Amino acid sequence: MGNFIFLNGEVVPHDEGKVSVYDHGFLYGDGVFEGIRTYNGRIFKLDEHLERLYFSAKALMIEIGMSRDELRAAILDLSRRNGVKDGYNRITVSRGVSLGLDPRNINGPATVVVMNDALSLYPRSMYENGLDVMTVSTRIPLPQTVEPRIKSLGKYVANIQAKIEANRVNAGEGLMLNTQGYVAECTGDNIFIVRRGEIITPPSWAGILLGITRNTVIELAREQGLTVREDIFTLFDVYTADECFLTGTAAEVIPVRTVDGRVIGEGHPGPVTRSLMEAFRELTATSGVPIYGENATAATGVG
């Protein structure tokens, strides 16, 4: 855990970081967030994550109260203070403080929190051998009800319900369908299947979050000359796929060994999955916004 956090414009010791019990995020899940990885002293895809954060806030009519450049600088400054080399950055923004559902009752600023911490989602053995995934009964919320492209606090109660289901059967992940029965995403990851050398992943309108890692892997695959198609598919397509893998900020790229007891392909990470895992690791080893050095200072304006 980092020694310090950023809270509403100030850097304070993490054990002194407190928000009001009247905070709208605490009371109603009224807020947005991002999780961002740091590798080798570089924050990976920082600007892409900040863009999504500000788009999510705009869609919910939340005024963050800091420019994107100011928040970017705060994230880098906090990482330097905590001496981060590798880790996880969590940015949380709630609408502000007020009792009562109506956003018009909030007169003060948004609550903005930045934290650094360590994160290891899956054991190394699962990257080598693959995950066992189980389809859960909890469905992805209807897009007419909860816009899937908004990374909101309240949306994730469905993902937590799905994770509880997966945990009850000791599955590595829970696979969620949309209300039409098409494959959407896992509790915290996007899903890809490989059939005859072609990579297929659900489109945004299937109810998925447009993952930053998802988009990165699509780019890496196309750079390797692989065909990537965004299309709907069912569990039958997953069961009979040659390969299957998941992507996410925390998960990175992780292979799937079984789904609902069906062995995927040969039952171990396939060549396409292995190639993309390696390409992603190479990219994260050298890419990102530097936290330390002259380039970092110049980029953020923070000494």
In this structure, are 8 and 142 located in the same domain?
no
Q: How confident is the model at residue 4, as a pLDDT?
A: 97
- CATH number for the domain spanning 69: value is 3.30.470.10
**Residue 143: its pLDDT value, please?**
81
What's the pLDDT score for residue 64?
97
Residues 194 and 110 in one domain: no
Taken in order 27, 29, 30, 32, the sign of the CA dihedral is positive
> What is the pLDDT at residue 123?
86
**Are 24 and 52 found together in one domain?**
yes
134 and 188 both lie in a single domain: yes
- Give CA–CA dist 218/228, Å, rounded: 7
Residue type, 67: S
Per the domain annotation, does 14 fall within a domain? yes
How confident is the model at residue 295, as a pLDDT? 64
**Residue 133 sits in the same domain as residue 263:** yes
Does residue 281 lie in a domain region? Answer: no
Regarding whether 94 and 174 lie in a shared domain, the answer is no
Residue 134 lies in a domain: yes
The pTM is what? Answer: 0.93
pLDDT of residue 296: 65
pLDDT digits (tens, 9 = 90+) for 23-50: 999 999 999 999 999 999 999 999 999 9
Which amino acid type is present at position 150? Answer: I
pLDDT at 121: 72
Q: Is residue 108 part of a domain?
A: yes
Residue 274 lies in a domain: no
143 and 260 both lie in a single domain: yes
Phi, psi of 196 (to 5 degrees): 50, 40
pLDDT of residue 303: 27
**pLDDT, position 200:** 98
Mean pLDDT rounded to a whole number for the chain: 94
Confidence at residue 146, expressed as pLDDT on a 0 to 100 scale: 85
User: Is 189 among the domain residues?
Assistant: yes
Query: Catalytic residue numbers?
Result: 151
Q: Which of 21, 31, 156 is nearest to 93 (CA)?
A: 31
Residue-number span of the structural domain to which 226 is assigned:
124-269
CATH of residue 263's domain is 3.20.10.10
pLDDT-flagged residues of the chain (< 70): 1, 294-303
- Residues 95, 129, single domain; the answer is no
In a domain, 278, yes or no: no
- The rounded distance, in Å, linking the Cα atoms of 82 and 30 is 28
Does residue 157 lie within any of the structural domains? yes
Looking at the structure, do residues 160 and 183 belong to the same domain, yes or no? yes
Q: How far apart are the first and last CA of the chain?
A: 23
82 and 133 housed in the same domain? no
Q: Name the percent of the chain lying above pLDDT 90.
A: 89
What is the count of structural domains for the chain?
Answer: 2
Query: Using the 8-state DSSP alphabet, how is residue 60 labeled?
Result: T
d(CA 151, CA 161): 17
d(CA 289, CA 119): 19
Residues 170 and 264 in one domain: yes
